[in-house]
Amino acid sequence: MLIVALVLFSTLSIGFQVTEESVEIIQIDGVKGTLELNTRSAMDSLGLVDFYPGASVEIDIDVFPVIANDCDICVESPTGLILTGDVNVSKLRPIDSGGQVRVEGKINVTHLQEFNQQEFIVREWLTIDWDLDEFSTQWDIFIQHTPPKWSPSNRYDASLVQSGSETKSRVGPVIFVEELIGDAMNIRGCLPNSLNCDGINREEMNLTSTMAKPKPVEQIEINSKWMEYTPLENNQSNTSMLTSVRNLFELGNSTNSHNSHCLSESGTPQEMQSWLVSSDSSSSVSPMGLWLSSIGLPTTTVSLSNGIWTETDFGDSGCGSLTNDGKLLLGVSKS
């Protein structure tokens, strides 16, 4: 989920363009197109573990600017985007039976950023609500930037190089970006971890982003209540809800110094496990920066500094938190 969903939907600031002739500000209005999930990792990332690779995903998503005025830990009101629309998955071939299955679903993504008076990003919130029958899931992510993060525009342009009438990815999986008539862009190419994909003879992604005049800003509520949970008496070793997220970190030895944070309504912890996070120098992850930049939706950078990574399972949901000196830097919730 954190791979494919972030490729498509986790837009982390309002993208805009200014035309030279009219000096008219336009913002991203929607994204539609198809994805071919030809790898095991692509299928698993959407929770489709019971099906063979080869499913096809159709998306049709609208984008709206939003502002949140009820954040209890904020100094300034967070602003951002909501992405909402249809996500239909076809060509699903069950591993334990024959035939094909089609599943129709919905996706709702909310991303908010709080800026300080110097226009640096202080905090970010990302919610991915994936409604796909029995495969439904929701991710809530909180990021505290310490120090606040500089976010200049067009900072990923160096990842693309001009190739005829298009631009092409400089490194990594092949991605072609072509400007279309009518304030639109076509993005085609390959997904991560794919083999024999060149973006021309075989492509796994074909998306079109449309731009339009800014829509009215909607006011929304924000789920900002991340609370600290009391450590369990006995150290656990079998948390399983966030195994894929755990792989982002350079984990050291396990520790009993748990520092669990999660959304306030998560319930009673059942399992808890912690590791020391250490690196010679502060590292960072920019989730799917190239793909989001190509679509017209800038991404963010998460700093993975030293600290403690604690996972907490609450039965059918789970949370992970990266803390340093007890302060929450990154919170991840899956339900």
Q: How would you label 45-72 residue by residue, b for 16+ Cβ within 10 Å and e otherwise?
A: bbebeebeeebbbebebebbbbebeebe
Average pLDDT over residues 100-111: 87
113-162 tens-digit pLDDT: 899 887 888 998 888 888 877 777 788 889 888 888 876 554 445 566 66
Please state which of the ranges 73-77, 93-97, 130-134, 226-230 shows the lowest mean pLDDT.
Answer: 130-134
pLDDT digit string (tens) for 2-17? 444 444 443 333 344 4
Query: Using 50, 70 and 90 to split pLDDT, how confident is the model at 93?
Result: very high
What pLDDT digit, counting tens, does each position of 197-242 carry? 877 888 888 988 888 888 899 998 887 688 888 887 665 667 888 8
Instruction: Give the separation between CA 227 and CA 319, rounded to whole angstroms.
Output: 11
Nearest alpha carbon to residue 306 among 279, 284, 328: 279
Can you tell me which residue has the tokens 């800003």?
217
CA distances from 6 to 21, 69, 77, 263, 317 (A): 34, 25, 24, 21, 20
Model pLDDT, residue 238 = 79
CB 315 within 8 A of CB 270: yes
Cis peptide before 147 (omega within 30 of 0): yes
pLDDT in tens, 173-209: 778 888 887 788 888 888 777 778 877 888 888 988 8
The reported pLDDT for the residue numbered 13 is 34
Angle, CA of 306, 308 and 309, to the nearest 5° = 110
Listed in sequence order, the DSSP H helices in 16-58 are: 40-45
Say how many CA atoms lie within 13 Å of 206 toward its Cβ.
11
Q: What angle do CA 239, 323, 315 make, to 5 degrees?
A: 25
Say if residue 285's pLDDT is above 60.
no
Cα separation values, 63 from 93, 128, 258, 296, Å: 32, 14, 39, 12
In the prediction, which pLDDT does 302 show? 60
pLDDT band at 42 (very low <50, low <70, confident <90, very high): confident
Rg over alpha carbons for the chain, rounded to the nearest Å, is 20
Parallel/antiparallel/unpaired status of strands 55-68 and 218-220: parallel
Question: Using CA atoms, how far apart are residues 194 and 327, in angstroms rounded to an integer?
Answer: 38
Q: Which residues have CB under 8 Å from 94's CB, separation 6+?
A: 50, 51, 52, 101
End-to-end CA distance of the chain: 12
CB 309 within 8 A of CB 324: no
Query: Does residue 298 surpass a pLDDT of 50?
Result: no
Contact in structure between 307 and 329 (CB atoms under 8 Å): yes
Query: What integer pLDDT is reported at residue 177 of this predicted model?
Result: 81
pLDDT class of 304 with cuts at 50, 70, 90 = low
pLDDT at 22 over 60: no
Q: What digits encode the pLDDT tens for the residues 315-327? A: 888 899 989 888 8
Q: Give dist(CA 252, CA 275) in Å, integer.
A: 6
Q: Look at residues 263, 177, 187 and name the one whose alpha carbon lies nearest to residue 223.
A: 263
